[in-house]
């Protein structure tokens, strides 16, 4: 990737609906060259997909929680089954394998505390591989970024 590719990616992260003409103008290349570069970025998996960012509160998903999970046994079977189960749950927005006190950290979004409790009771507490669950409820969102910090000077 070169500086133009990075500038294309920066512009797309700001506005995924920008037209090819506007994007080409913003990065100072021809529309045909811009389209070819975007296509290459998509084909190479740099651009995974395009999406819309929704306001969580306006769609009534008011509770955000971070759940630290420790597995009872660290064997491939329990890890794979836990990961497969988590992938099926739409409330789980993010799941990371981590170092430290927890094996996994989940970011979960639900309507309210009652729906969060139902997620815990109906799903997490029923998984056989878990030895410990610790939850933290977010009180306020200070910063939420989706754009990766790309630097064209490093290209």
Give 67-123 pLDDT, tens digit per residue.
Answer: 999 999 877 877 999 999 999 999 999 999 999 999 999 999 999 999 999 999 999
Of 49, 122, 51, nearest in space to 89 by CA:
122
Give a yes or no: residue 144 inside a domain: no
Query: 14 with 65, same domain?
Result: no
How many whole angstroms separate alpha carbon 45 and alpha carbon 53?
A: 20
Q: Give the pLDDT confidence of 23-78 residue by residue, as tens digits.
A: 999 999 999 999 999 999 999 999 999 999 999 999 999 999 999 999 998 778 77
pLDDT at 9 over 80: yes
At residue 153, the pLDDT reads: 84
Give a yes or no: residue 145 inside a domain: no
Whichever domain contains 37, its CATH number is 1.10.10.10
Give a yes or no: residue 42 inside a domain: yes
Query: 22 with 46, same domain?
Result: yes
How many whole angstroms separate alpha carbon 128 and alpha carbon 101?
A: 19
Question: Residues near 86 by Cβ (< 8 Å), separated by ≥ 6?
Answer: 92, 95, 104, 106
DSSP one-letter code for 101: S
Task: Quickly count: other Cβ atoms within 10 Å of residue 137's Cβ.
Answer: 11
Query: 44 with 64, same domain?
Result: no
Give a yes or no: residue 111 inside a domain: yes
CB-based contact 2:17 (threshold 8 Å): no
Whichever domain contains 91, its CATH number is 3.30.70.920
At residue 94, the pLDDT reads: 98
**Residue 42: domain span:** 3-52
In this structure, the strands spanning 63-71 and 104-110 are: antiparallel
Q: How many domains does the chain contain in total?
A: 2
Give a yes or no: residue 142 inside a domain: no
Query: Which 3 state secondary structure label does DSSP give 152?
Result: helix
pLDDT at 154 over 90: no
Query: 66 with 100, same domain?
Result: yes
């Amino acid at each position: 990737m070169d500086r133009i590719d990075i500038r294309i990616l920066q512009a797309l992260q700001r506005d995924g609906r920008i037209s090819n003409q506007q994007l080409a103008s913003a990065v100072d290349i021809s529309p045909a060259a811009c389209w070819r570069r975007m296509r290459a970025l998509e084909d190479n998996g740099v651009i995974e997909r395009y999406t819309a960012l929704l306001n969580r509160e306006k769609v009534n998903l008011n509770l955000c929680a971070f759940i630290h999970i420790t597995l009872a046994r660290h064997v491939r079977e329990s890890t794979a089954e836990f990961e497969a189960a988590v992938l099926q749950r739409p409330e789980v927005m993010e799941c990371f394998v981590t170092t430290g006190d927890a094996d996994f950290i989940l970011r979960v979004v639900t309507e309210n505390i009652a729906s969060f409790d139902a997620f815990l009771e109906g799903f997490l507490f029923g998984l056989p591989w878990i030895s410990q669950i610790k939850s933290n409820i977010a009180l306020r969102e200070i910063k939420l970024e989706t754009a990766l910090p790309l630097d064209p000077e490093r290209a």
